[in-house]
Amino acid sequence: MKLPGQREIADLPTAPSMGASKHVMSRTQLAVWMSFPSRHYTPWARNQGWILLGVAALVHLVVSLVIAMGKDSQWSEVLLAPFCLTGLFWGLGLLFVLGARGARRRDHAEAPARDKALAVWERLYYCARDNVAFEPGVGVSFHPGETREYIFGFRGRAI
């Protein structure tokens, strides 16, 4: 039994008398190929980083206070020992925050090319019979798996 999301469609005629072979493609794969690429930057990744840094600071403070209440505790021990527990949170938080900053810069630098590619992508059509994507008036057809190369590469430079 197949799940509803894994249905398959026949893209080419299947009649043996026509000499055509059955070409089957999942709808999910076709949707992935024909969709417009997502951006690099997602605000949630940055927010997760800040949340992890906040959790690390809170846990670090609590553990430092617990160690400080003990007998004969040194200040270096109070400040450095909690990093054994919170180091992973500090590291992942900084990784998310700094990674989101770099992705935001890339998105800003790629914005003009992305706008041109979106204009090309909005004019694309898919022919289920021939299993090709095309842009009316251009005279070029391509496999749906080459959509990104077409909108950013071949056609993206022509606009």
CA separation, residue 118 to residues 25, 32, 35, 105 (Å): 25, 16, 11, 19
Q: What is the pLDDT of residue 154?
A: 65
pLDDT mean over 72-83: 81
If residue 54 lies in a helix (H) or strand (E), which one and from where to where?
helix 43-68
Write down the mean pLDDT value for the chain.
Answer: 77
pLDDT mean over 91-95: 90
Q: pTM for the whole thing? A: 0.51
pLDDT tens per residue across span 99-154 = 888 888 888 888 888 888 888 888 888 888 888 889 888 888 888 888 888 888 86
Q: Please say whether the beta carbons of 61 and 79 come within 8 A.
A: no
If residue 131 lies in a helix (H) or strand (E), which one and from where to where?
none
pLDDT tens per residue across span 8-58 = 444 433 444 444 334 555 667 777 788 887 776 677 777 888 999 999 999
Helix axes 83-121, 43-68, angle to 10 degrees: 170
Q: What is the pLDDT of residue 55?
A: 92
